[in-house]
Amino acid sequence: MSVASTPPSILLADGDPDSREMFGTFFRRRGWQFDVVDAPSKLSSALEQGPYDIVIADVALPGADSLSLIRDILEKRPSQAVIAVSKELSYDQALKFFRSGATDLLNRPVDFMWLERVVQQIVCSRRNDERERLSYQFVTSERTEMVFSCSDIIELDTVPLPIVGRLEAIGALDHAQALKVRLAVQEAVLNALEHGNLGLESSWKEELHPDGADRFSATRRDRLRDPEFCGRRIFVTVSFDGTALEVVIRDQGNGFLNFPQGGAPERFSEVSCSGRGLALMYSAVDEVRFDHNGSEVTLRKATKPAGRH
Amino acid sequence: MDFPTEVIGEKGYIRITSDLDTEVAGEALRAAFNQVYDRGTRTIVLDLSGAQIINSYGIGKVLMCYKRLKAENGVLMVKPLNGFVKETFELLMLDKLLPEDRER
């Protein structure tokens, strides 16, 4: 059966026997696959049997705090779609459910036509994601080039790395590795912006004003308004060759002498306001290499075999 | 962005409610710190449980808080850390510098 034609799979958690019967009849008529639990205590073990496209949970389940029930589900399965079913919710109550991560809310008496539409929308989106994930296993190489202005970087805080999400989805990077790669890139981009394009000295961080502000931050603000500095660009190339992810970040600054080469810096033994970004970069990826007098840095992280790689 | 603060007895508390990896979050920490510091509190506790990520920028702001307190014989403490934030503190040896506050 293809991904697209797989029927929706649903886990129903409902304390009311009549309601369970009504949902069950509807699901059977539509040809949807479903399992049912009648108590929140059983929801956790039932989820282990999954995965399910959607959990439909009666938020008046006996013995459960409804909001923490949804949070618990999402803690176990962060991408799980959850539809909360309730008799009547005020605007504030509904907002709380959405903030706790519910995908949608369904009022009782249940409008089954509405439910069908919501289920089809969720399932369609999940099938598309799954298809993309499966397709990505066949990608053997990829390369993206990006150019940013200084103000772009300030606005974005980092650079977009959709490839990291795709590699995580196919298991080539685990969640912690993906998080660290993003962090290492963010550190490298900040270095390129601050020490490269804006020419800021690390030692200025130690020069504190009475209000707690420092010379580094003050000069940073000034230079971000100065065309001589803020007109410079940052070039980012992201490539994947089937065995490793490589990110190259180049700035238009003058580079710097004594840039680190060949290994991680010593562990910190004193309170210093600089050098932490490098330590984080070295700890997050397999290789950190500086070129062009330090104005270009290459980060390399080996990936795990996934799919057909 | 504002981080909630509270002073109970001799201790000031700052609850970090977002990742500490942007200029905005860093400035929010500085503002919250000033708020507690200006009330004369010299033992300040950071609760970082609301942060999943901390980067060099966020660490820099934490260290500035540390230095300002140390200059006046004060102490910067942290609530017990978890996950990536704990890992980062250990990597940078901040766990040796900032004692844990296990009260409350």
The number of CA neighbours under 13 Å toward the Cβ of A102 is 24
Q: Do B66 and A179 touch (CB under 8 A)?
A: no
User: How do strand A244-251 and strand A287-291 relate by DSSP bridges?
Assistant: unpaired
The number of CA neighbours under 13 Å toward the Cβ of A247 is 26
Return the ∠ at Cα A86 (arms to A84 and A91), rounded to 5°. Answer: 90
CB A236 within 8 A of CB A299: no
Q: Which of A273, A278, A285 is the mutation pick for testing B, counting most B CBs within 10 A?
A: A273
- Domain A142-302: give its CATH code: 3.30.565.10
Nearest-Cα distance to chain A for B86, in Å, is 13
Q: Tell me the domain boundaries of chain A.
A: 9-133, 142-302
Range B78-103 average pLDDT: 88
Beta strand segments in A133-179, E? 142-149
Q: Tell me the domain boundaries of chain B.
A: 5-96
Q: Where are the alpha helices (DSSP H) in A175-251?
A: 175-191, 215-223, 227-230
Q: Do B53 and A183 touch (CB under 8 A)?
A: yes
The pLDDT score that the predictor gives to residue A267 is 47
Per-residue pLDDT of chain A (309 residues; tens, 9 = 90+): 555 568 999 999 988 899 999 999 999 999 999 999 987 678 878 888 878 999 998 886 545 577 788 888 888 888 899 998 988 777 777 888 887 888 998 888 899 999 999 999 999 998 888 887 777 778 888 899 999 999 888 888 778 898 998 898 888 998 889 988 998 999 999 999 999 999 998 888 777 777 667 788 889 889 999 999 989 999 999 999 989 999 999 999 988 756 555 555 554 444 555 678 888 899 889 999 999 888 999 999 999 886 544
pLDDT in tens, B53-87: 898 889 988 998 998 999 999 999 999 998 889 98
Banded pLDDT at B100 (limits 50, 70, 90): very high
What 3-state class would DSSP assign to A48?
Answer: helix
Complex ipTM? 0.74
The pLDDT score that the predictor gives to residue B74 is 95
Range B40-52 average pLDDT: 92
CA A151 to chain centre: 23
| Alpha-carbon distances, residue A228 vs A127, A197, A199, A251, A271 (angstroms) | 49, 9, 11, 14, 33
From the list A176, A179, A273, the residue facing B63 with the nearest CB is A273
| Nearest residue of A to residue B83, measured between CA atoms | A176
Mean pLDDT of chain B: 90
CB A69 within 8 A of CB A59: yes
For residue A233, the cross-strand partners are A149
Q: Do A280 and B21 touch (CB under 8 A)?
A: no
Q: How far apart are the first and last CA of chain A?
A: 24
**CATH top class, domain A9-133:** alpha beta
DSSP state of A303: -
CB A191 within 8 A of CB A297: yes
**CATH architecture designation of domain B5-96:** 2-Layer Sandwich (3.30)
Q: Which of B23, B53, B56 is the mutation pick for testing A, counting most A CBs within 10 A?
A: B56
Nearest-Cα distance to chain B for A16, in Å, is 37
From the list B56, B64, B84, the residue facing A276 with the nearest CB is B56
- Check if A280 contacts B (Cβ < 8 Å): yes
Number of Cβ pairs < 8 A linking chain A and chain B = 54
